[in-house]
Amino acid sequence: MDGDTKAGNAKGGAEVKKLFIKTYGCQMNVYDSERMAEAMGADGYVLTEAADEADMVLLNTCHIREKASEKLYSDLGRLRPLKLAKPGLKIGVAGCVAQAEGAEILRRMPLVDLVVGPQSYHRLPAMARAADAGGKRVDTEFPVEDKFDHLPARMQGASRGPTAFLTVQEGCDKFCAFCVVPYTRGSEVSRPVARILTEARGLVEKGVREITLLGQNVNAYHGGGPSDLGGGTWGLAQLVRALARIDGLERIRYTTSHPNDMDDALIAAHGEEAKLMPYLHLPVQSGSDRILKAMARKHTVEQYLRLVERIRAARPDMLLSGDFIVGFPGETEADFQATMDLVAAVNYGMAYSFRYSARPGTPAAEKLPVPTVEADERLQRLQALLIQQQRAAQQGMVGREVQVLFEKPGREPGQMVGKSDYLHAVHVTGAEARRGAIARVRITDSGPNSLGGTLTSKMW
Ligand code: SAH
Ligand code: SF4
Ligand code: F3S
């Protein structure tokens, strides 16, 4: 969920300026990095994978946990020799640390030329030009204009893989007591349906067959419907059904959802819409009502378990994934045990778990944390259980037939790797699977991080 990625696609050429982007944090940042690269592309920048040949380095940051945040400063430290050797090099900081710390970044790290928040990155090219003229710039506004209206259309001329992210909603109004997102991303805003459909069609024309709809609170989506399709305000289910009618788009996913926004229409869509994949990331954070209340999650354990039942009634094979925080202030051993019980009751196919990290400006940061040693010990126990469930879910796939969208060559010669409907990595050897092709695969073995199988259908 928050692995770091480095963007590539260098084209070379003498006159072009080179842009190196490092992306930290969640999928929304991955999407934003792509859009920033496209915006800079219009100003003559091409992406490079080598920071030392770049004319501009952009760090698209994450503020969610202390460790994630601190990475920015250690990476900036590593860029210092580069900047000294090449004074024309521009260094920009984007993303959630940029939003949270703004001008403080320039004070702490004078080598930085510009700081741009997640809502103002359509202004990045202008800021970069200003930096060329010697100015330092900080823009962490939540502007009235919609940045998407001021960004170039997607991927002009670029070639890409068969899967893509598409941001449909941004921001969060939930204010969980531990979380910085409502502050760094602002309040919930949904993009209009027509814009999303246009972007999706454009992606499909470029060969994309699977789209993951993104939002910090994606299932709270409530975008304006196009007048030719009845207008009104659309929920995520309605949006998914409209997207499913796009020829050539084969698979739809969405992330991340809050349990309270999982409405009946969306649950029903999982039972009825074949293109909507049977994988749902539905974070609960804790299995203790007392802690859920202190976290301001606004739901109980019972409500979450009933919701899981309803989802599985609509789609019995749904693979559920979750997020957990261990060591939230006030968490006792009994509270932690309740989390273990909830995990046992739900049986997750996949999960992310974190030790609580106090974030400046959030209500929980005022409270006394659980001692680190204790929290770490709990985290280990939780992770052992979650890994056991994940392995069991993978093992349970052996002998079953799944649909795989092939994405790239595997490590071994003649091997192709793709994702199953359930988001498991699946590799097939010697079958001449094409990148971007979909086929049915019988799973024959389950390794620690991926499944292996053989084709049982033609590719399409
Ligand atoms: N919008 C999503 C996820 C937001 S951040 C949701 O509502 O679930 C991704 C995950 O990071 C969270 O689900 C949570 O498990 C974790 N996280 C957020 N703040 C954290 C903190 N202060 N300490 C540790 N983990 C945190
Ligand atoms: Fe953060 Fe809670 Fe909003 Fe998720 S729902 S982004 S955890 S405040
Ligand atoms: Fe991190 Fe911001 Fe995403 S804090 S998890 S990059 S929304």
Digit-coded pLDDT (tens) for 57-71: 999 999 999 998 889
* Ligand 2 atom with least separation from CA of 256: 4
Mean residue pLDDT of the chain comes to 93
Q: Among residues of the chain, what percentage have pLDDT more than 90? A: 84
Q: What pLDDT does residue 248 have?
A: 97
In short, whether 174's Cβ falls inside 6 Å of ligand 2 is yes
Domains of the chain by residue range: 4-139, 147-395, 401-455
Q: Among residues of the chain, what percentage have pLDDT more than 70? A: 95
Q: What is the pTM of this model?
A: 0.94
In short, whether 175's Cβ falls inside 6 Å of ligand 2 is yes
**Tokens matching residue 89:** 């090099």
Closest ligand by atom to 101 CA:
3
What is the C-alpha separation between 444 and 397, in angstroms, rounded? 8
Homologous superfamily assigned to 4-139: Methylthiotransferase, N-terminal domain (3.40.50.12160)
Is 221 buried (19+), middle (13-18) or exposed (0-12) by CB count in 10 A? buried
Reply yes or no on whether the pLDDT at 180 is more than 70: yes
Residue nearest to atom 2 of ligand 2 (CA): 176
Residue of 369 and 301 predicted with greater confidence? 301
Q: What pLDDT does residue 431 have?
A: 67
Residue of 154 and 156 predicted with greater confidence? 154
Closest ligand by atom to 292 CA:
2
Q: What pLDDT does residue 153 have?
A: 77
Q: What pLDDT does residue 456 have?
A: 93
Residue with tokens 């789209």: 211
Reply yes or no on whether the pLDDT at 240 is more than 70: yes
Closest ligand by atom to 100 CA:
3
DSSP string, 359-422: -TTSGGGGSPPPPHHHHHHHHHHHHHHHHHHHHHHHHTTTT-EEEEEEEEE-SSTTEEEEEETT
Please say whether the dihedral angle defined by the alpha carbons of residues 99, 36, 215 and 198, taken in this order, is positive or negative: positive
Cis peptide upstream of residue 256 (ω within 30 degrees of 0): yes
Picking from 32-41, 80-89, 132-141, 381-390, which range would have the lowest pLDDT averaged per residue?
132-141
Tell me the pLDDT band of 12, cut-offs 50, 70 and 90.
Answer: very low
> How remote is the CA of residue 68 from the centroid of ligand 3, in Å?
9
CATH fold for domain 401-455: OB fold (Dihydrolipoamide Acetyltransferase, E2P) (2.40.50)
What is the C-alpha separation between 343 and 301, in angstroms, rounded? 11
> How remote is the CA of residue 185 from the centroid of ligand 3, in Å?
8
> How remote is the CA of residue 29 from the centroid of ligand 2, in Å?
16
Q: What pLDDT does residue 96 have?
A: 96
Residue 364 backbone phi and psi in degrees, to 5:
-65, -20
Q: What pLDDT does residue 7 have?
A: 47
Q: Tell me how crowded residue 296 is: count the other CB atoms within 10 A of its CB.
A: 14
What is the C-alpha separation between 80 and 72, in angstroms, rounded? 13
* Cα 198 from chain centre: 21
* Ligand 1 atom with least separation from CA of 178: 22
Q: Tell me how crowded residue 248 is: count the other CB atoms within 10 A of its CB.
A: 11
- For 24, residues 6+ apart whose C-beta sits below 8 A from its C-beta are 2, 4, 59, 60, 61, 62, 68, 71, 72, 95
Digit-coded pLDDT (tens) for 219-231: 999 999 999 989 9
What is the C-alpha separation between 353 and 347, in angstroms, rounded? 15
> How remote is the CA of residue 175 from the centroid of ligand 2, in Å?
6
Homologous superfamily assigned to 147-395: tm_1862 like domain (3.80.30.20)
Tell me the pLDDT band of 2, cut-offs 50, 70 and 90.
Answer: very low
Tell me the pLDDT band of 289, cut-offs 50, 70 and 90.
Answer: very high
Q: How far is CA 40 from CA 19, 347, 383, in A?
A: 8, 44, 41
Residues contacting ligand 3 via CB (< 6 Å): 2, 25-26, 28-29, 62-64, 95-96, 180-181, 184-185, 216
Tell me the pLDDT band of 11, cut-offs 50, 70 and 90.
Answer: very low
Picking from 12-26, 82-96, 407-421, which range would have the lowest pLDDT averaged per residue?
12-26
Q: What pLDDT does residue 15 have?
A: 65
Digit-coded pLDDT (tens) for 133-142: 887 788 998 8
What is the C-alpha separation between 290 and 301, in angstroms, rounded? 10
Residue of 8 and 408 predicted with greater confidence? 408
Please say whether the dihedral angle defined by the alpha carbons of residues 219, 36, 351 and 319, taken in this order, is positive or negative: positive
